[in-house]
Chains A and B, each alone.
Chain A
Amino acid sequence: MIETTARVESNREIVSGYRLLTLSFEQDIPVRAGQFAMLKAHSCHEPLLRRALAIYRAEGPRQLSFLYQVLGRGTEALSQIESEGRVDALLPLGNGWLDLSQGNAGDQEDHEKERRRAIVVAGGIGSASVLMLCDELSRSATETHIFFGAATERVARGCGLDDLRELALPLTLTTDDGSLGEGGFVTAPLERHLREGGGEGATIYACGPWVMMRRVAEIAAHYSVRCLASLEAPMGCGFGVCVGCVVAVKHEGPAGYGSYRRVCTDGSVFPAEIIRWEVNAMAH
C-alpha cells in the first residue's frame, strides 16, 4: 500500500460521461488485475473522501490508467483535473482477481486445471476491473470468453469496448436497447453458454451492476460453475479502518460477528456464493 501524489498524464473523455485518467508515479507501483486505488484531486477540500477506482491498465511500472464514469461529486471533481495536475493516490488496494483464485485453490495442479477456462462477465463500467484480467488470462493460455453488456452502444464505447475488442478474445456483446450486439441483458447469452456446456471446468469472473452480478451468481450456482465477483461499495478509507463498505455474507457459527465483510480489504473480489445478494440489494 503506497500513499503518494501522482501526476496526471491525461484525463480524456471517451464519450460523454466516461473518461480515461492516466497517472504517472515517482515509484514503481506493483499491481494485480482487479485491484483498485483511492483517488482524489490534490488539495481538493470538497468532496472530502477519495474515490475508489479500479485499475484499468498498467501502461508501465510507473504509469496506470483508470477508466471511470462521471457519476457524482467525487468523479465530477476528478473529471475536472487537467494534464499536469496532481492526484492523491492510495494504492494498490484490494485482493485482485487472481490472488483469490490462486490463494483458495488446492495444489498447483488443481489450480492449473481450474484456470483452463475463464468466462469474464462485465456490465457497464464494471469493465474497468476486467481488462487487465482478460489480458493476463489470455497470456496464460487460458481459454477465455468475454461477455460484455452495456445500456447502449455509446455506453459500451465509453466502457472500453475498443480495448476489449483489441484483446481478440471471443466476445459476446449485448446492449439493453439492442443498438449493438444482442438486445437485452448480458446474463441471457451467458446462461445459454452455460446451458450448452461452456461452463465446464471454468471460472466465471463477474463485475458490473449489483443486479447483474446477483443474476450471474444464480446462473453460476445453477450450472455449478465457480464464480468470483468484484464488488463495489461507497468507501470511506479503502484500507479497512472505517468499516463502512461492508457486504453481508453467509457465515458459519453463531449469528453476529462475521456477518459482514469489508469490500476494500476482505475483497473486492469474493466467491459469489458467500455473498448474501438479497441483503445487500438495498444498498445498490
Chain B
Amino acid sequence: MNNHDPALSVEIAGVSLKNPVIGASGTFGYGLEFAELVDLNRLGGFSTKGLSAKPLPGNPPPRIVETHGGMLNAIGLQNIGARAFVEEKLPLLRRYDTRVIANVFGYSDEDYIEAITILNDGPGIDAYELNISCPNVKEGGIVIGSSPSAAARLTEKAKRASSRPLIVKLSPNVTDVSELALAIVGAGADCLSLINTLVGMSIDVNTRRPRLSYGTGGLSGPAIRPIAVRMVHEVARTVKVPIIGVGGIASAMDALEFMIAGATAVQIGTANYYDPKVTMKVIDGLSDYCRQEKVPHISSLVGSLITS
C-alpha cells in the first residue's frame, strides 16, 4: 500500500514528513530490520539507534526486564558507530522513501561533535537527534541532559557542527522540564523530542540483586505515557519550536493525545517490540480519525487541547 493520506503530512524544522509517525530511537534499529515487517515507504520516518563516533559494546546482560505496563532497559548504547552507519546502512536505506533521523550520542561534547562530523558526510540523513537523555551511561547522555547549562552548551556546539536540522531529545528525569527546554531552544535547537525513559529499578528479592546488571534502567512503555503527555503539554506552552511526542504510544488514540497536547509528530518506541506493525496501524488509525472526525488536516489538532 503506497497511497499516502495528504491530510497526515507534517513539517518539522523544515523537513516534511508523509505523516507524523516516526520509529523511536533504540527501538527501530537502523530501520532495515523492519523492512520485512512494515512498508518503510509508508513511514513518516525513524530515528536510528544512538550513534557514537566509535562503536560501543553496551552493558553486560541482563539488559532488560519487563515491568507492569512497560519494561526497563539498560542496553548502554551498543551501536556500530557513525562511520559504519554511513558506509553500511545508509546506502541500503536510500532504497526507501522515508525520513532518516540520526540519533547521536557521546560521552563528552567532543564525542558528540565527532559523531556529527562523521554523519555530515552521509547522504540521505534528514536530521540529527541529540541524545542527551540516555540514563544508562555514566558519562554523556543524561549527565549532560540533566543540567540546562550543560545541555545548552552542547546544543550550541552541535548546532554549529551540524549540516542538518537539530532535534534535541529531552530527559524526563529533571525537576523542571520547561527550564531545560527553554535553555536548549535558546541555544539553537530546531525541534525537541520528549520524553526519553524514566530512571527505574527492579530487584530480585531472592538474590537481593538488581535485575539489571547496570543496576538501574530506563522505564518505557504504556506505563509512562501520562507523564510524557503532561511534559509535552508543559513544554509546548513554553517554547515555539515543534515538538515530537514520545512515551508509551501503542495506538492512534495514544498518538492523538500527544498531538492535542502540542506535539507536531510522534515517535513510537517499545510497542515496536511486541507489535512490530504498530507504526502502520497508527498511521491507518490517524487517517481514520481525521476522516471520521472531519479533521481536514492533522496539523490542525496540534496543541488543540481544550482546558476551559
Contact = CB atoms under 8 A, between A and B. Distances in A.
Given A234-B65, A236-B71, A242 B55 contact: no
Interface in A13-39: none
A47 B66 contact: yes
Nearest to B213: A282
A3 B64 contact: no
Contact of A239 (B58, B73, B276): B276
Contact of B29 (A240, A256, A257, A283): A240
Contact of B57 (A45, A244, A245, A257): A257
B63 interface: yes
Contacts of B6: none
Contacts of A3: 37, 276-277
Contacts of B55: 256-258
A233 interface: yes
Contacts of B65: 234
B56 interface: yes
B45 interface: no
Given A49-B274, A241-B29, A257-B56, A246 B63 contact: yes
B80 interface: yes
A279 B273 contact: no
B41 interface: no
Given A1-B37, A48-B71, A236-B64, A256 B57 contact: yes
B272 A243 contact: no
Contact of A50 (B70, B75, B81, B274): B274
Given A47-B66, A283-B213, A243 B57 contact: no
B73 A242 contact: yes
Interface string B1-37: 0000000000000000000000000111100011011
Contacts of B71: 48-49, 236
Interface residues of B, number: 40
Contacts, number: 114
A179 interface: no
A76 B98 CA distance: 40
B165 interface: no
**Which of B26, B56, B58, B63 has the largest number of chain A CB atoms within 10 A?**
B63
Interface string B51-87: 0001111101111111011110101001011000000
B36 A1 contact: yes
A40 B274 contact: yes
Contact of B33 (A240, A247, A257): A240
B222 interface: yes
Nearest to B78: A243
A248 B73 contact: no
Nearest to A257: B55
Would you call the interface of chain B mostly helix, strand, loop, or mixed? loop
B70 A48 contact: yes
B262 interface: no
Contacts of B75: 242-244
Given A1-B37, A257-B81, A46 B27 contact: no
A102 interface: no
A48 B57 contact: no
Given A1-B36, A243-B75, A244-B63, A237 B57 contact: no
A246 B213 contact: no
Interface string A243-255: 1111110000001
Contact of B221 (A48, A233, A245): A48
A263 to B, nearest CB: 9
B272 to A, nearest CB: 7
B270 interface: yes
Nearest to B31: A241
Contacts of B81: 257
A235 to B, nearest CB: 8
A256 B61 contact: no
Interface string B93-126: 0000000000000000000000000000000000
B261 to A, nearest CB: 22
Interface of B: 26-29, 33-34, 36-37, 49, 54-58, 60-66, 68-71, 73, 75, 78, 80-81, 213, 221-222, 270, 272-277
Q: Lowest 6 A-B CB distances belong to which pairs?
A: A257-B55, A244-B64, A241-B29, A237-B273, A259-B57, A283-B62
15 contacts: A3-B277, A49-B66, A74-B66, A234-B65, A235-B64, A236-B270, A239-B37, A240-B33, A241-B33, A242-B27, A242-B75, A245-B61, A257-B81, A260-B60, A282-B62
